[in-house]
Amino acid sequence: MVQGTTKQGNSMASYNLVGDIGGTNARFAIVSQGSSELISIKTLQCEKFETVQQALQFYLSSIEDIQIRSACIASAGTVHLDTFKPANNDWVINKSDVSSALNNIQVSWINDFNAQALATTLLSNNDVITIKAGIEQPDRLRLAIGPGTGLGVCGLIRLSSGWVSVPTQGGHSDLAPNTSLEIEVLTLLQKKFGHVAVERALSGPGIVNLYEALCEINGKNILFHSPSEITAAATNPKPDHLSKETLHMFCQMFGSVTGSIALTTGSLGGIYITSDLIRNFLDFFISSEFVQNFENKGRMKHYMTDIPIYLSKKENMGLLGAIRYLNHL
């Protein structure tokens, strides 16, 4: 029996279910009604299950004597459709089938980065690192942004009734180079992809794209083939030169893109970065030119200077955002 779940007479303890489906893993947890404390968190490898229903049934079979009242599941992909395929995942999800597998309870679906953005409203000062101090204006838009499998971008507005998210597809906007070297890189990426969205550079796969382009420009062999290999080589006490240059370019581009989005959306409510990817090279990121490039907006530099930027240290942001969504239905 899971700790905290007890039978009361013939009735079972009642919980909500939250999930976060990624390309590789699916995370599930239960939570008491009105609470934000995750219970019985479990991470499952998607490839080991043919459907999300099988993964859910496996998860719930490990928990005894509970009743699920409602659920909210975060996923990448077109979650507004009745049937959709999560990004970078072989599952095809039919919402009715999932509800049936959960005894026909109400199951809400939310975009995975929309969930992470909502989770920023639950963060305390101890949950964040201040990347750039500033003056947070609570009546203005808050921006959540995060490189991962792609680049997530979501706005948040505080109303009298609570926080409202403004999901976007900002990760698919055009990549704009700012230096001659970035122009060279963009030219190579255009040959490879045609249209080059910002997430072709500002994501896990984007780090690989930048590294391979820099190898080609410098006439060097490709030594590393994954984001983790490149970031490890860049942050090694004896760093690989092109891997280090790759991370420098990533941080510079990320600062420029984040600044442009902040200008476009008027993000005076502050910026929250939520990214496991960046936490893997956090010290490098903090000492990088991210802030300098963020503020480098010519005549509008004074506008950028006042915008605070925070990075979330909190784990399971997708699950927390699903809780946030459920608690405010």
Torsion of CA 104, 66, 36, 204, to 10 degrees: -70
Beta-carbon contacts of residue 305 (< 8 Å; ≥ 6 apart): 134, 295
**55 and 180: one domain?**
no
Do 24 and 139 share a domain, yes or no? no
162 inside domain: yes
Sheet strand arrangement including 151-159: 128-132, 309-312, 271-273, 142-147, 151-159, 162-167
Structure tokens at 238: 């004896």
Residue 98 inside a domain? The answer is yes
Are residues 187 and 288 both part of a single domain? yes
Q: Which domain holds residue 60?
A: 7-110
Q: Is residue 119 part of a domain?
A: no
Whether 115 maps to a domain, the answer reads no
Asked if residue 182 and residue 94 are part of one domain, the reply reads: no
Same structural domain for residues 80 and 11? yes
Domain of 258: which CATH number? 3.40.367.20
Which burial class, exposed, middle or buried, applies to 286 when counting CB atoms under 10 A from its CB (0-12, 13-18, 19+)?
middle
Identify whether 117 is part of a domain. Answer: no
Digit-coded pLDDT (tens) for 239-284:
999 999 999 999 999 999 999 999 999 999 999 999 999 999 999 9
- For residues 195 and 83, state if they share a domain: no
Query: Tell me, what's the pLDDT at 78?
Result: 87
Same domain as 266, residue 148: yes
pLDDT at 236: 94
Structure tokens at 288: 């990088």
pLDDT at position 9: 44
Residue ending a domain, choose from 68, 86, 110: 110
Is residue 179 in a domain?
yes
Give pLDDT, residue 122: 92
The answer as to whether 322 is a domain residue is no
Those residues with Cβ within 8 angstroms of residue 225's Cβ, 6 or more apart along the chain or in another chain: 208
pLDDT of residue 1: 32
Alpha carbons within 13 A on the beta-carbon side of 12: 12
Question: Quick one: 166 and 270 in the same domain?
Answer: yes
- Please, what is the average pLDDT of the chain? 93
* 224 and 143 in a common domain: yes
| Number of domains into which the chain is organized | 2
Q: Is residue 277 part of a domain?
A: yes
Of 63, 86, 110, the one marking the end of a domain is: 110
CATH of the domain at 50: 3.30.420.40
14/154 same-domain check: no
Same domain for 27 and 145, yes or no, is no
Q: Are 31 and 61 part of one and the same domain?
A: yes
**In the chain, which residues have pLDDT < 70?**
1-11, 329
Q: 76, 110, 144 — which closes off a domain? A: 110
**What's the pLDDT score for residue 8?**
42
